[in-house]
Amino acid sequence: MVDRLEHREGLRRRLTRGLGATALGPVVTALIQLGSVPILLHAWGASKYGDWLILSAIPSYLTLSDLGLGDASGSDMAMRLGAGDRDGALQTFQSSWVFVTAVSVAIMLLALPIVGWIPWQTWLKLSSISSRQAAEIISLLGAHIVVSQQDGIAESGFRSDGHFATGMFWITMLRLTEAVASTIVALLGGNLLAVAITYLIVRFVGTIGYISLLRHVSPWIHYGIRHARLKAIKLMAAPALGFMALPVGSAMSLQGLTLVIGARLGPLAVVSFSTLRTLSRLNLQLIGVIKNALWPELSRAFGAGDISLVRRLHRRACQASLALSASGGLFLWIFGPLIYRLWIGHNVSFNAACFHILLLVVLTNSLWDTSSVIPISMNGHSRIAANYVGASAFSLILAWVLVGPFGLVGAAVALLATDGWMTGLVLRTALWQAQDTPKNFAVALLSIPNFALQPTPKIGQGELPDLQ
C-alpha cells in the first residue's frame, strides 16, 4: 500500500511540475509573438515583415527529415520504462538519434543547391530582397531546423525518464533567448539575413547545453551507435510515419495557408491573416499545456497496462480543454478588436469576420487536439495522421478557391472545415483506445471535477485511486 501511495504521489508531482513547465510555453510564445510582431513591423515595415513570414514558412518542411522518430521514440521509451525495460529504451534512443541525424543532414545538403537555383523573388512576389538573398535566408533557417531536431531527440529522453518538466523548461528558455536576441538584432538595424544568422547561432549553442543537461539528469541515456539497431527503427516505422504526417498536416494548415494567401493576395494580406490567427490561437496555447503534460504519463500508463488511469486522465483533460477554449473564445470575441488595436495599432486593418471564424476553429481544434494525445502516447495514431494530411491538403485547395471571392474569410472557412472533420475522427479513436464509451465520456465531460484524493484501493485491484 505504501508503494501504491508513493506511486500516486509521484504521478501527481510529475503532473504538477509538467503542467507548470508546459504552461510556461504559451506564456513565452505569447511574449514572442505579441512582442516581436510590432517591433519587427516598426523596424522593417509591413512589406519586409511579410517577406520574412513567407521565407520562414518554407524551411518548416525540413522538419519532416526526422521522419517522426523524435516523437515516436519518446512514446516508445516511456512505454518501455513503464514496463521496466531500460535497455530497450536506450536502444530506441540511440537508434533514433543515429537515423535522424544522418537523414536530416543528408536532406539539408541535397536541398542547398536547389534552394539557390529557384527564383524566389518572382515566385513569392517578394518586395524587399533578391532571390539570392532569399536563398541564403532559407538555407540558414533550414540549418536552424536541423539543429533543432537534435533538441527533439534529447527531449524524448527527458520525457521518458520522468524529467519532462526539466526538459520543457529549458527548451522554452532557449526559444525565448533566440527570439529576444533576433528581435534585438532587427531593432538595431539588422536585415533579414542578420536575424536568420542570429537564430542559428543561439540555437546551436543552446542545443549543446541542452544535451549536456540530459546527460547530467539521466546518465544512462548516452549518445552513441553501440545500441543502435535497424530493427528498432523498423518497429517504430508506422508510428514514426504518423508523427511525420502530423507536421505535414500542420505545415499545410499553417505555413501552407500562408503561402496560398501570399500567392493570391500578396504579403500585406499574409501579415493581416497571420496576426489575426496569432491572436485567436493564444487560447489554444493553454490547451496544448494539458496535452503535452499528460503525454509522458499516458505513455507510462499504457506501458504498465493501467487503462483505467488512461481513461480518467483523458476525461479530465478534455473537460479542462473545452472549458478553456469556450471561455477564452468568448473573451476574445468581445475584446479581441481592442487587443488587436493596442497590439498592432493601425498598421494593419482588423478583419472581424475572419477573426470570428478563426475563434470557431480554435474551439473545434480543442476538441480533437487534446484527445489526440491518447493515440499519440501509445504510438497508435497513424490513421489519424493520414486523415489529417488529407484534410489539410483539401483545406488548401478549398482556400485557393474561396480566397478569390471571399478574401481572408475564405481562408478561415477552409481551416474550419478541416478541424470539424478531425473532431469526429479523433474522438471516436481515442474513446476506443481508452476503452471508454461516448455516453460515459459525455457524462464525465459535463460533470463537476473533484480532484480530491480518493481512498486507496486494496492491493490487487489493479488500478490507481480515482482522480475524479
What are 186-222's pLDDT values in tens digits? 999 999 999 999 999 999 999 999 999 999 999 999 8
Residue 130 has pLDDT above 70, yes or no: yes
Identify whether residues 143 and 107 lie together within a single domain.
yes
Give a yes or no: residue 66 inside a domain. yes
Give a yes or no: residue 22 inside a domain.
yes
Is 297 part of any domain?
yes
Output the pLDDT for position 171: 93
Residues 356-373, mean pLDDT to the nearest whole number: 91
Task: Looking at the structure, tell me whether residues 279 and 216 fall in a common domain.
Answer: no
Which band of pLDDT confidence, cut at 50, 70 and 90, is reported for residue 463? very low
Residue 372 in any domain: the answer is yes
Which amino acid does the sequence have at 63?
T
CA distance 317 to 337: 30
- Element at 72 (helix H, strand E): helix 69-82
Asked whether residue 76 falls in the same domain as residue 182, the answer is yes
pLDDT in tens, 219-263: 999 898 888 888 888 888 788 778 778 777 887 787 788 888 888
Region of 67 (left: φ > 0; alpha: ψ -120 to 50; beta: rest) is: left
Q: Which residue, chain included where needed, has cell 491572436? A: 279
Q: Are residues 207 and 322 in the same domain?
A: no
In this structure, the answer to whether residues 227 and 264 fall within a common structural domain is no
Asked if residue 282 is part of any domain, the answer here is: yes
Within this chain, do residues 146 and 287 fall inside the same structural domain, yes or no? no
- Asked if 257 and 164 sit in the same domain, the reply is no
My answer on whether 158 and 42 are in the same domain is yes
Whether residue 137 contacts residue 199, with contact meaning beta carbons closer than 8 Å, is answered with: no
**Same domain, yes or no: 212 and 240:** no
Q: How many domains does the chain have?
A: 2
Residues 254 and 229 in one domain: no
In a domain, 124, yes or no: yes
Pick the more confident residue, 12 or 41. Answer: 41
Residue 466 lies in a domain: no
Report if residue 1 sits inside a domain: no
Check if the beta carbon of residue 26 is closer than 8 Å to that of residue 292: no
CA gyration radius, the chain: 22
Among 173, 206, 235, identify where a domain stops: 235
Distances (CA, A) of 52 to 56, 58, 134, 196, 289: 6, 10, 9, 10, 28
Contact at 8 Å (CB) between 157 and 168?
Answer: no
Distance of CA 208 to the CA centre of its chain: 22
Sequence length of the chain is 468
Pair (277, 160) in one structural domain: no
- Domain of 135, in residue numbers: 10-235
- Tell me, yes or no, whether 229 and 247 share the same domain: no
State pLDDT tens for residues 433-445.
999 999 999 888 8
User: Closest Cα to residue 159, out of 372, 304, 14?
Assistant: 14
Which of 235, 262, 283 is the last residue before a domain boundary?
235
